[in-house]
Amino acid sequence: MKKLVALLLCAAMLIACISAVAEDQKKVGISMPTKDLQRWNQDGANMQKMFEEAGFVVDLQYAANDEQIQLNQVTSMINNGCDVIIISAITSTSLGSALDLAKEKNIPVIAYDRLLMAHDWVSYYATFNNYAVGTIQGEYIRDQLDLDNAEGPFFLEITAGDPGDNNAGYFYQGAIDVLAPYIEAGKLVVKSGQVEFSEVATPAWKTETAMNRANSIIAFYDDGSDIAAWLCSNDSTALGVINALEDNYDGEWPIITGQDCDIANTKKMIEGEQSMSVFKDTRTLAKQVVKMVTQLLNGEEVEVNDTETYNNGVVTVPSFLCVPVFADVNNYEELLIESGYYTPDQLQ
């Protein structure tokens, strides 16, 4: 009997001990937009791993690219006692009521990769330099076509990102600021006539939507003229353009830009169908966010490197911008394989 009592006591102490540790552990809610695009799976997995290694409890949720699902998920993270919420929004303005609630409960919110717009309750923003992504793409086209020396004219087409994603405008603008002088001078000609962001945007960054629009543009080249370059803001849209060109275009293969170094697109770079991509190492971003959260919850100064660029219409959000890197067939092995981002098998 005495043995049984002692045993029960021990068990009770153990349970008390475990729950004391659990109570001490901070809980972080991570809301990602979708599992459909490769990068968000990587972002989520990297953050989960790094936060857990740092001793956090993680509630990671994906919202199937549905604004209402994301709103419900973030709201329940707040109601379930998360100490901090990290959000990559499907649409930058669709989470207002969740942000109201976070504000009411004084739970900090960090915008991840995509800025949350039109609300004052956005504590920090961690991303890559989005404008620089566009600059890298625009400069690549400029240099490959040697626009400063060659006579031209060259035909250019443009496929941009989701108008609901604040990043998309930065990518577009970064590239257009490089290319606009050549368009104005007539050295670059957009035969479809579609140049404005609203005309070239791709809702939800969907490959299929980009493909359908590309198919209608290819019809402008039925006269046998060649498309010299196709500016695509990211890899999912580049894939749509490549699919359309493969099916319906007979001219010289154009220069095609991208972003993310998704596996499918890296393979296309190796095969020579996509010319370049922009590598944004999601491990770097995840690491930075874990650092931010740790500093924030410890009451330390949070490291940021940009306090001017990202005004969300209500506040300028202190930001940390990681550096995007040019990638093509010549450096992908070093960037992606030697760094352990992908195994050689994944790119077979």
What token pair was written down for 76? 């329940």
When asked if residue 91 is in the footprint of ligand BGC (CB under 6 A), the reply is no
Residue 269: count of CB within 10 angstroms of its CB: 24
Assign residue 225 a region: left if phi > 0, alpha if psi is -120 to 50, beta otherwise?
A: beta
- Position of tokens 């109601």? 79
- CA-to-CA dists, residue 103 to 78, 99, 164, angstroms: 10, 6, 23
Separation of first and last alpha carbons in the chain: 65
Phi, psi of 328 (to 5 degrees): -150, -170
Task: Name the residue with the smallest CB distance to ligand BGC.
Answer: 234
Q: Least Å distance between CB 211 and ligand BGC?
A: 15
CA-nearest of 75, 80, 82 to 96 is 75
Q: Least Å distance between CB 38 and ligand BGC?
A: 9
Distance of alpha carbon 131 from alpha carbon 323, whole angstroms? 11
Site map (CB under 6 A) of ligand BGC, residues 232-261, x = contact = --x-x----------------------xx-
Residues in 39-68 that interact with ligand BGC by CB under 6 A:
39
Select from 43, 165, 273, 281 the one that contacts ligand BGC (CB under 6 A).
165
When asked if residue 142 is in the footprint of ligand BGC (CB under 6 A), the reply is no
When asked if residue 112 is in the footprint of ligand BGC (CB under 6 A), the reply is no
When asked if residue 70 is in the footprint of ligand BGC (CB under 6 A), the reply is no
Contacts of 96 (CB under 8 A, 6+ apart): 118, 119
Nearer to ligand BGC, 125 or 205 (CB): 205
Nearer to ligand BGC, 59 or 260 (CB): 260
Q: Least Å distance between CB 323 and ligand BGC?
A: 14
When asked if residue 170 is in the footprint of ligand BGC (CB under 6 A), the reply is no
Distance of alpha carbon 40 from alpha carbon 340, whole angstroms? 18
When asked if residue 37 is in the footprint of ligand BGC (CB under 6 A), the reply is yes
Q: Least Å distance between CB 88 and ligand BGC?
A: 7
**How many residues contact ligand BGC, by CB under 6 A?**
12
Q: Cα 280 from chain centroid?
A: 8
Q: Least Å distance between CB 114 and ligand BGC?
A: 5
Site map (CB under 6 A) of ligand BGC, residues 278-307, x = contact = --x---------------------------
Q: Least Å distance between CB 215 and ligand BGC?
A: 21
Nearer to ligand BGC, 32 or 292 (CB): 32
What token pair was written down for 122? 């956005």
When asked if residue 167 is in the footprint of ligand BGC (CB under 6 A), the reply is yes
Residues in 191-210 that interact with ligand BGC by CB under 6 A:
205
CA-nearest of 136, 329, 141 to 228 is 141
When asked if residue 213 is in the footprint of ligand BGC (CB under 6 A), the reply is no
Q: Cα 16 from chain centroid?
A: 42
When asked if residue 113 is in the footprint of ligand BGC (CB under 6 A), the reply is yes
What token pair was written down for 287? 């690491």
- Position of tokens 């500016």? 231
Select from 60, 114, 160, 213 the one that contacts ligand BGC (CB under 6 A).
114
DSSP string, 231-264: EESSHHHHHHHHHHHHHH--SPPPEE--SS--HH
- Site residues, ligand BGC (CB under 6 A): 37, 39, 113-114, 165, 167, 205, 234, 236, 259-260, 280
